[in-house]
Structure 1
Amino acid sequence: MTVDTDPMPPSGLDLRALVSRLARRTPTRTEADVQADVRDLLLHGGLNLAAEDLTVQLEAQVGDRRRIDVETGFTVIEVKKDLRAGTVLAEAVEQLAGYVAERTKRLNQRYVGVLTDGADWRCYHLRVDEELEEVAHHVVDPAQPDPDRLCVWLEAILATEAQIRPTPQEIDRRIGADSPGHALERAGLRDLWSLAREAPEARLKRRLWARLLTTAFGSQFADDD
């Protein structure tokens, strides 16, 4: 079973055409155009989201007068017209870091940041030092748009689908080593370890586990983080 991204969902929206339009970076389009298309993708891309699950006002108020372009669950999405232009990418990452840090502090809950111009999709994790780290990257080819692949990538971040048949393919696509979901959890675990690694109990348990794994795997086991 895959994410249900029929190119023509019940709404009549052509998802392949939508994803292609998003990825073309047409010079005449506005950021509002990109936001609207991203919203349609989230609603009609088989991600188990309804209109009430999305905050796209357009742009949700964060606090200190900053605004989020799109927010759903524990994910904020910052939309730009073209991330390749000048310093747009660097400035957008800085802006997104503020959004994610504010949400994380306010709700005491991990928030994920996604930055996109429709063609370039980047997923960010907020480290314990409050710096954003890019953990996953997906690029859409406007000439060969693949809405299913993009929506699976997004779903691995949003985790909104339910009752997914646990086939090897689906497990690999959603939480496999190359998925954004896996990258986010790995980054989170790394941060937890960075906070606990100097604790005597944690150091002792790590040494014990290292010995057990070395016994089991021999020289193939690398005793590092």
Structure 2
Amino acid sequence: MSKSDKALLDVLLDRYGSTFAGEAGIKLSDQPRPLYQLLVLATLLSARISSGVAVAAAKELFKAGYGTPKGMRDASWQDRVDALGRGHYRRYDERTATMLGDGAELLLDRWKGDLRRLRDEAKGDDKRIASLLMEFPGIGPTGADIFLREVQAVWPQVAPHLDKRVLDGAGKLGLPRQARPLAEMAHSGEELARLSAALVRVSRSKKTVDEVKSAAVQ
């Protein structure tokens, strides 16, 4: 890694390297509860709504006791709508409340509430995992990418998962736009997930790109 690339990496991780799961208070590990919470967050982030609102809505759902598939399934539709509303997730609250209930039911029925079973069914292949994730209501290609970007911190089988948005962010900073050399900049799966989140944030804003570049040369 060049000195300039290391400087960019340090700034990225320091300023923008919190994962979306971390922002939502999810202590991600290879266990059923946090993996399900990440799926919920990916569902919320899939809508055309700010990431801050999606994170706030996830926190409200978990605080209300809907951080497990059983808790989500057993909540009334109105309870889910109300929790989403408290997180200001209002434009999509009714449809999302239905999708979350149906998704929890699917996870319980097909994979016994444990996304590790889904991973094992896919034999750890990220494309097959993405295909199965997209069977959940509200999860399309974007949601599957969000889930995989974050879960690579605890699922080494899927790493590196660096989708187009991540690689676009890297390109804007002059970092490698190919998955393997970019992944080699990270020292662990956790750091790779943090780098991915940072590059997604950077990809959205030229101002942020300029700020990171400027800070890296100081």
Larger Rg: 1 or 2? Answer: 1
Q: Which has the higher contact order (CA 8 A, sep 6+)?
A: 2
- TM-score above 0.5: no
TM-score, length of structure 2 as denominator length: 0.29
Structure with bigger helix share is: 2
TM-score, length of structure 1 as denominator length: 0.28
Structure with bigger strand share is: 1
